[in-house]
Amino acid sequence: MKRLAVYCGSATPKDPRYVELAREVGDALARRGIGVVYGGGKLGLMGAVASGALAAGGEVIGVIPEALAGAEVANRECTELVVVAGMHERKLAFTRLSDGFLTIPGGVGTMDELWEAVSWAQLGYHAKPVGLLNAFGFYDHLLAFNRHMAEIGFVRPAHQGIIIAEAELDLLLDRMAAHEPHTPIFNMKASEL
């Protein structure tokens, strides 16, 4: 994995652990020689991931929609700042520029990015690892809901392992690096669907 798309919140939660976690993630990726592809903002957890990676000498590619770049939230300190027309182009760029996806705590936009990465993996638009850092138990309920969808039958057995979740970053990155692609829907027979 040479680059990971990092999905996280642009907000700054009251609990300082989240911002510190984001800095640590950026730092850890840079120290492993893994570049960061992220939302291009300088605020919240996004800005903390970028500053952590940049401080450790890492590559940071920001991908930001025109509307946000013009709103003075763009991080001009990135190694490279890519300005795109909108959110669809942004997510396509995340997929094109990265070798996998790492989601840390965030809100609605983060969930949109995570679920699209999962959906695209399930379908076969990419075969990259989709990691979820469940720090502080933040994603416990999401993981329980994902299990519930699988138990009901909305997530096929072949796709139940798409989300690689761990509470510890090093273990998560190791598991992502060892990722074995599953059989995507595009390659399944009708009887398997």
pLDDT (0 to 100) of residue 73: 87
According to CATH, the topology of domain 99-179 is Rossmann fold (3.40.50)
Sequence ranges of the chain with CATH classification 3.40.50.450: 10-96, 99-179
Residue 133: count of CB within 10 angstroms of its CB: 25
pLDDT (0 to 100) of residue 37: 98
Report yes or no on whether pTM surpasses 0.85.
yes
Dihedral sign for Cα atoms in the order 81, 87, 89, 95: positive
Class of domain 10-96: alpha beta
What is the pLDDT averaged over residues 82-105? 96
pLDDT (0 to 100) of residue 109: 95
pLDDT (0 to 100) of residue 137: 98
Average pLDDT along the chain: 95
Distance of CA 31 to the CA centre of its chain: 18
Cα(7)–Cα(82) distance, integer angstroms: 16
pLDDT higher than threshold 80 for residue 72 = no
The end-to-end CA distance of the chain, in Å, is 31
pLDDT higher than threshold 80 for residue 158 = yes
pLDDT (0 to 100) of residue 157: 92
pLDDT higher than threshold 90 for residue 86 = yes
pLDDT (0 to 100) of residue 175: 98
Residue type, 66: E
7-36 residue pLDDT tens? 999 999 999 999 999 999 999 999 999 999
Phi first, then psi: give them for residue 61, nearest 5 degrees.
-110, 115
115-149 residue pLDDT tens? 999 999 999 999 999 999 999 999 999 999 999 99
